[in-house]
Amino acid sequence: MVDFKGVISSLLVLTTGALIDPLPRLSSGALPRSLPAAFAQPAKPPQLDKMTVPPNFKVQLYKDNLPNARSMALSPSGILFVGTRTAGSVYAVVDKDKDGKADESYVIAKGLNMPNGVAFRNGSLYVAEINRVIRFDNIEQHLKDPPTPVVVSTSFPDKRHHGWKFIRFGPDDKLYVPVGAPCNVCMRPDPFAGISRIKPDGTGQEVFARGVRNTVGFDWHPVTKQLWFTDNGRDLINDTTPPDELNCAPQAGMHFGFPYFYGDNVPDSEFGPKAPPNLKPVPPRFPFGAHVAALGMRFYTGSMFPAEYKNQMFVALHGSWNSAKKVGYQVVLAKLDGDKVTSVTPFMTGFLQPGEQVIGRPVDVQVMPDGALLVSDDDAGAIYRVTYNKPVAPSKPTKPTAPTKPTAPTKPTAPTRPTATTKPTAPSRPTAPTK
Ligand SMILES: [Ca+2]
Ligand SMILES: [Ca+2]
């Protein structure tokens, strides 16, 4: 629950780097440029008991009171950095005693312009706002007194529509920075509707992929190192068209269709005819439902979950905002066979309760060093931790019963089978002559 007494006091005292209690405010005491959604509409208390995961998995609370918690990035020392969209803040979350529950959180920055994207490299936290990327150096040692950020790049468009970013460093040590289409559907020049990348110092900006309407989550396959990313389909066709997409970009220079084609290269009624004649868009590897809002995704590289989860994808479906029937609102598991998606099944559900009651909206997922999976929820302002416990309980009892196995030796007593020979005694049936 949001502590409104705490809110009021924090209006006066909270400064950058302070412990969160519970809503960030400008040091002047004024509201940040972007009013936290959780303030205008108090964050919902996380309802763990309503979350459902497969057998032997468990959902616990990693951290609450993180208004508008969105994208996550983990430092090598295990500090979790969390970006926001409407709240304008960036948080650091620390599990000091490594017991799987965060103990401390800090406001690293506030009043930023939709700082949805966070990435970590060589001791520095990179944060993507709408039109720029900034960097907080040696941040792990300065959670309480974060440095003034270094401006890495200011060369991204300032359009707020789909302008918030998910960012990550790729295997090539470049920072991947998408720029969404500044519209529902429209044609715009580079770098709009694409994924750009820059060197860590901000130079060398180039477009890596085109025809991407708005990706808010991507990861590289742990083995093939190919980029996989989600993409949100356009609105205002109908409730079932077009699909959100799970795409793969094994190399630079590919085009993924937008705005000319969607899904399995279905031409958009308005923009399909305007497609460049030689365009060969790459169809999605998997079409999610329309409007599910596929956002954060990661390959599972941990060792806590069963082996079948290794190198498979978790994808957060944030949930629809304009579908007549609410869809999404869950974390799904996308399984691969080679580079083909073979199944997509619910993994964590319960965000959408009966009667279309929304109690949370998953945004991003993060695999922790111990193999647990974190899930951020910008509606509840919380981060959940999903763990797996081997079903040891049932196997133990069987062991004790093992002593009964000696009964197995009774099998050797199978020699009693010779009783089968008693069958021959069946001939004794002829005794039937008793007839
Ligand atoms: Ca702890
Ligand atoms: Ca596409």
Q: Tell me: the pLDDT tens digits for 1-13?
A: 333 333 333 333 3
The dihedral formed by the CA atoms of 25, 31, 37 and 43, expressed in degrees to the nearest 10: 50
In a domain, 406, yes or no: no
Alpha carbon of 378 to ligand 1 centroid (Å): 21
Taking CA atoms, 347 is separated from 42, 51, 344, 365, in Å, by 27, 10, 9, 12
Alpha carbon of 344 to ligand 1 centroid (Å): 33
- Average per-residue pLDDT for the chain: 86
Q: Are 70 and 116 in contact (CB under 8 A)?
A: yes
In a domain, 262, yes or no: yes
Q: For residue 392, what pLDDT is reported?
A: 76
Residues of the chain with pLDDT > 70: what percent?
A: 80
In a domain, 433, yes or no: no
> How far is residue 188's CA from residue 391's CA, in Å, rounded to a whole number?
53
Q: Are 138 and 147 in contact (CB under 8 A)?
A: yes
Alpha carbon of 235 to ligand 2 centroid (Å): 14
Alpha carbon of 104 to ligand 1 centroid (Å): 8
Q: Which ligand is nearest to the CA of 78?
A: 1
Q: Are 177 and 207 in contact (CB under 8 A)?
A: no
pLDDT level of residue 417 (50, 70, 90 thresholds): very low
Q: Which ligand is nearest to the CA of 213?
A: 2
Q: Are 200 and 153 in contact (CB under 8 A)?
A: no
Reference 221, options 263, 170, 281; nearest CA is 170
Alpha carbon of 92 to ligand 1 centroid (Å): 14
β-strand 254-255 against 206-210: which pairing, if any? Answer: parallel
In a domain, 419, yes or no: no
Alpha carbon of 120 to ligand 2 centroid (Å): 29
Q: Tell me: the pLDDT tens digits for 384-393?
A: 999 999 987 6
Can you read off the two tokens belonging to residue 332? Answer: 């799904």
> How far is residue 208's CA from residue 176's CA, in Å, rounded to a whole number?
8
Number of domains in the chain: 1
Can you read off the two tokens belonging to residue 97? Answer: 């005693």
Q: For residue 278, what pLDDT is reported?
A: 93
Q: Average pLDDT in the 170-182 region?
A: 98
Q: Tell me: the pLDDT tens digits for 300-339?
A: 999 999 999 999 999 999 999 989 999 999 999 999 999 9
Q: Which ligand is nearest to the CA of 103?
A: 1
CATH code for the domain in which residue 240 is found? 2.120.10.30
Q: Tell me: the pLDDT tens digits for 334-361?
A: 999 999 999 999 999 999 999 999 999 9
- Could you tell me which residues are beta bridge partners of residue 82? 72, 91
Largest CA distance in the chain: 111
Alpha carbon of 202 to ligand 2 centroid (Å): 28
* Backbone φ, ψ for residue 351 (5° rounding): -65, -30
* Backbone φ, ψ for residue 409 (5° rounding): -50, -25
Burial of 274 (0-12, 13-18, 19+ CB in 10 A): exposed
Confidence check: pLDDT of 299 > 90: yes
Q: Which ligand is nearest to the CA of 279?
A: 2
Alpha carbon of 139 to ligand 2 centroid (Å): 37
Q: For residue 364, what pLDDT is reported?
A: 98
Q: Average pLDDT in the 247-264 region?
A: 97
In a domain, 369, yes or no: yes
Q: Average pLDDT in the 183-206 region?
A: 97
Q: Average pLDDT in the 83-89 region?
A: 97
What residues flank ion ligand 2 with Cβ within 5 A? 256-257
In a domain, 416, yes or no: no
Alpha carbon of 349 to ligand 2 centroid (Å): 26
Query: Between 2 and 98, whose confidence is greater?
Result: 98
Q: Which ligand is nearest to the CA of 247?
A: 2
Q: Which ligand is nearest to the CA of 95?
A: 1
Alpha carbon of 364 to ligand 1 centroid (Å): 21
Taking CA atoms, 307 is separated from 266, 384, 388, in Å, by 37, 22, 12
Confidence check: pLDDT of 428 > 70: no
Q: Average pLDDT in the 230-239 region?
A: 93
In a domain, 202, yes or no: yes
Confidence check: pLDDT of 16 > 80: no
Can you read off the two tokens belonging to residue 71? Answer: 């994208």
Confidence check: pLDDT of 374 > 80: yes
Alpha carbon of 210 to ligand 1 centroid (Å): 42
Query: Between 125 and 420, whose confidence is greater?
Result: 125
How many angstroms separate the first and last alpha carbons of the chain?
87
For 86, residues 6+ apart whose C-beta sits below 8 A from its C-beta are 34, 35, 36, 37, 68, 114
Q: Tell me: the pLDDT tens digits for 35-52?
A: 334 344 556 889 999 999
pLDDT level of residue 94 (50, 70, 90 thresholds): very high
Q: For residue 397, what pLDDT is reported?
A: 57
Alpha carbon of 222 to ligand 2 centroid (Å): 23
Note down the domain range covering 85. 4-398
> How far is residue 88's CA from residue 146's CA, in Å, rounded to a whole number?
16
Q: Which ligand is nearest to the CA of 97?
A: 1
> How far is residue 368's CA from residue 384's CA, in Å, rounded to a whole number?
12
> How far is residue 229's CA from residue 128's CA, in Å, rounded to a whole number?
18
In a domain, 268, yes or no: yes
